[in-house]
Amino acid sequence: MGFPTEMFESNNPLLDKLVCSICTDVLKEPQLLPCNHRFCNGCILKSLEKDQRCPMCRNPTKILDIRDDVTARDIIREFPVKCDCVSVGCQWTGPLGNLADHKKKCRFTEIDCLFAPHGCTVKMRKEDVEKHNATFQDKHLQMLCTSFTKVADENKSLFGIINRLEKENKNLEDELKRANKLIDCAINFERDYKQYFITFNNVSNLIQTKVIGQSVASTPFKAFGREWYLGLYPNGEKNTHFSLYLCLSKDPDLNNPLPNIKVMFSFTFVNFFDNKKSVTVGPTKNEFSSGSLWGWTTAFSHEVYRSDSGFSGDDTLTIRVKIERQ
């Protein structure tokens, strides 16, 4: 859109020659096309986005073809105009280029109340600001109280969201620590074949359903050419501790049994949140024959397991087995 024609003195002979044929206002930021037709910058850009032809002569025209019409711009800036506030008493006239500076000082220019962001819709002249503020002082205070209450409620809601996100972030950090430790365990497992991590799942259910003397076998693992597994007795001997044993699987060929094997081993009940709290039993040396087992009847307390989520997170029990041939 250009400058409204009613702003300008009507006796200007050049006025009609510098009107945009799209918006029919006096050119604002005039642009010149290769075909010498002139348009407002905003008008011609919007037109060429839809149809890359001159709106007047229909010659093909691209946005890159247009250029600032400096001559027309300078001429229009010298056109005499009236103040926007002529209808309320301002008698100022002067070049268009000086209008912006005049409007900053014009005492007839209406401005928004300083409390408009808080709900005041009154417009006033600059000279009436002090009177308006005195008249509407109580209403302005009420508006401020309403705004501050709204901000306080929003902040309270934001604090709730922040607290929730902090808790979620803490949970994610804990999960990351657990994952990193499992990765470290896997690396150690692949490197030396002397350290193994075994996890038992649904431990609370095992404690409830397994009576004294009933055990659960872990997934088998290989070491020193033999197959091993852990035997976990969820309720041990007194329903107060886990019993845990290292078991050597039976030889597949009973007619040709493999020789006994002597190893040193230990169990560590892993605390994923604080490694210093991890509980280790052993080491001990024992000689294993096919199908034999060795371990501890009171390896780990139920009470310690339940009281620390570093052990019982996700209802699992993770045990690091260190085993070394003697």
> Degrees (nearest 5) of the Cα angle 125, 126, 128?
70
Is 182 a member of any domain?
A: no
Is 157 a member of any domain?
A: no
Domain hosting residue 272, numbered range: 193-252+259-325
State how beta strands 279-288 and 93-95 pair. Answer: unpaired
Q: Which of 107, 142, 159 is the last residue of a domain?
A: 107
- The CATH number covering residue 43 comes to 3.30.40.10
91 and 204 share a domain?
A: no
Across 39-48, 51-60, 108-117, 297-306, least confident range: 108-117
Classify the C-alpha dihedral 42-48-53-58 as positive or negative.
negative
Is 215 a member of any domain?
A: yes
- The CATH number covering residue 211 comes to 2.60.210.10
204 and 311 share a domain?
A: yes
Q: State the average pLDDT for the chain.
A: 87
Is 144 a member of any domain?
A: no
Give the separation between CA 83 and CA 107, rounded to whole angstroms: 11
Is 226 a member of any domain?
A: yes
> Degrees (nearest 5) of the Cα angle 126, 130, 86?
25
DSSP string of 274-322?
-GGG-EEEEEEEEEE-TT-EEEEEEEEEHHHHHH-HHHHGGG-EEEEEE
Is the pLDDT score of 89 beyond 80? yes
Give the separation between CA 274 and CA 132, rounded to whole angstroms: 66
Q: Which of 107, 123, 157 is the last residue of a domain?
A: 107
pLDDT digits (tens, 9 = 90+) for 280-326: 998 999 999 988 999 998 889 999 998 888 888 788 999 999 998 88
Is 169 a member of any domain?
A: no
Taking residues 275-282, what's their average pLDDT? 90
Is 128 a member of any domain?
A: no
The model's confidence at residue 181, banded by pLDDT at 50, 70 and 90, is low
210 and 100 share a domain?
A: no
Is 240 a member of any domain?
A: yes
Give the separation between CA 58 and CA 235, rounded to whole angstroms: 92
Q: How much is the pLDDT for 184? A: 57
Q: Which of 63, 91, 107 is the last residue of a domain?
A: 107
Six token digits for residue 60 = 């093909």
Q: How far apart are the first and last CA of the chain?
A: 93
Q: How much is the pLDDT for 281? A: 93
203 and 297 share a domain?
A: yes
- Indicate the number of domains in the chain: 2
For residue 158, give the 3-state DSSP assignment.
helix
88 and 199 share a domain?
A: no
